[in-house]
Amino acid sequence: MSINDSIEQLVSDQRRFFKSGVTRDIHFRMEQLNKLKTALIAKEDEIIKALQQDLNKSEQESFTTEIGIVYKELSYVMKNLHKWAKPRRVKTALTHIGSRGEIHPEPYGTVLIISPWNYPWQLAISPLIGAIAAGNTAIIKPSELTPSVSALITSMIKDTFSDQYVAVVEGGPDTSTSLLKQPLDYIFFTGSTNIGKVVMQAAAKNLIPITLELGGKSPCIVHKDAPLKLAARRIVFGKFTNAGQTCVAPDYLLVHESIKEPLLKHMKEAITEFYGDSPLMNSEYGRIVSEKHFLRLSNFLSNGSLRHGGKCDASKLLIEPTLLDDITWEMPVMEDEIFGPIFPILTYDHLDEVITSVNNRPKPLALYLFTQDSQVQRKVLSEVSFGGGCVNDTLMHLATPHLPFGGVGESGMGSYHGKHSFETFSHMKSILRQTNKFDFSFRYPGKEGLKLLRRLMKP
């Protein structure tokens, strides 16, 4: 059987299974989430090993950014699922007296989850939790660039679920393309903005609803009143975790001219504290995923002037945490998302310059603002559009199931995590239950009804 035929067969089997109605039952969903929980716990050591093989992630980083975050998401969803899945009553309009309005969440059907390589475990399993919770069947297409993690996802899912319910299809762009041609009911894509456009075009052919979790250049703004040592530690953490290969990593620094030097000093200290004097020798420092990305990133090292780091080890695909000063917007490093451990530094005198510069570019996935001045906070938050972010921190907004996580404009559409995942993978069906006890005649043709309707409806 060709890959196309087997994909077609798989989708058809999942659609049939969905139509049987089994996945709609809330007890079934809870049972499956429980099975997933048991499987995740059992695989913990193997996950750490696979992440180390594919990306040289340390145990600490793997637990916090891939395993722990998924546990937290799963526990939160399991705790609240009964409540979210119930039909809920809404208010009745004056024109609808006697009736009852309700919202019934219902699963879409068969959903496709396409995930990237940078957090290959979290970004495949976290959407799956939402898909299962909402009562769908699911197919995961993990990244071909992280073969150990993808193989582990395949074996875990195979051991836990039947193919007709949850399946994994491994492969690269060709496999994705075949999957995207299928009569799916929802597509959840995490990856680059360019491929996001390809996915959206494919989805449009069959009018399949989608979520796009994309990337972009996320600014990190440090205003003159920020507590510099603390800001430096939090920025260095956000930028160099996973060697900068984080969708919401601060992409570039916009620092008030007056505090640039002290901030740089604290950032250098934090880099040394976290990764040692020779990060290339640190066995726990993340590596670049592929030679292609390593070469792309190395080319940026000649931009501006080097203030810290800059050394590489091509044989191990390592690049030191690097700070680049004297950067201008026209340099190659400022064109696209960097997605690596290279941090360009730009300065500003007036906040308005920052706002204009950021607003002149595609809407970023994240924005980080370091200031204690509530007026500055209000101004930036109200005048700049971006997916989400933090005031006085980095990355942490995505690590809570209470906040919706997603982009806007070129950084994506839709959101997930916690209740928002459940809602993303559910269609909200509106139902009006009408009374048969009486029947107002004003809706029917005739002048009398029109008069009353005008009185009731005119603003």
- Decide whether 109 or 215 has the Cβ nearer to ligand NAD: 215
- Beta-carbon contacts of 282 under 8 Å, excluding residues fewer than 6 positions away, are 275, 276
- Beta-carbon contacts of 176 under 8 Å, excluding residues fewer than 6 positions away, are 114, 141, 199
Dihedral sign, Cα of residue 147, residue 149, residue 150, residue 152: positive
Least separation in angstroms between residue 358's CB and ligand NAD is 17
What's the CA gap between 246 and 88, in Å, rounded?
Answer: 37
Dihedral sign, Cα of residue 250, residue 255, residue 259, residue 264: positive
Asked if 247 is an active-site residue, the reply is yes
- Decide whether 114 or 228 has the Cβ nearer to ligand NAD: 114
Nearest 10 degrees: Cα torsion 15, 19, 20, 25: 110
**Active-site residue among 61, 66, 220, 247?**
247
Least separation in angstroms between residue 439's CB and ligand NAD is 51
**Active-site residue among 61, 66, 73, 213?**
213
Least separation in angstroms between residue 164's CB and ligand NAD is 22
CA 18 to mean position of chain CA atoms: 26
- Beta-carbon contacts of 70 under 8 Å, excluding residues fewer than 6 positions away, are 40, 121, 122, 125, 126, 129
Least separation in angstroms between residue 197's CB and ligand NAD is 10
- Decide whether 124 or 255 has the Cβ nearer to ligand NAD: 124
Binding site for ligand NAD (CB under 6 A): 114-118, 123, 141, 143-144, 172-173, 176-177, 190-192, 195, 198-199, 213-215, 247, 337, 339, 365, 407, 412
For 245, counting Cβ atoms within 10 Å of its Cβ (0-12 exposed, 13-18 middle, 19+ buried), the class is buried
- Decide whether 266 or 417 has the Cβ nearer to ligand NAD: 417
Please report the DSSP string for 53-69 in residue order. Answer: HHH---HHHHIIIIIHH
- Decide whether 120 or 135 has the Cβ nearer to ligand NAD: 120
Least separation in angstroms between residue 269's CB and ligand NAD is 28
Residues with catalytic roles: 213, 247
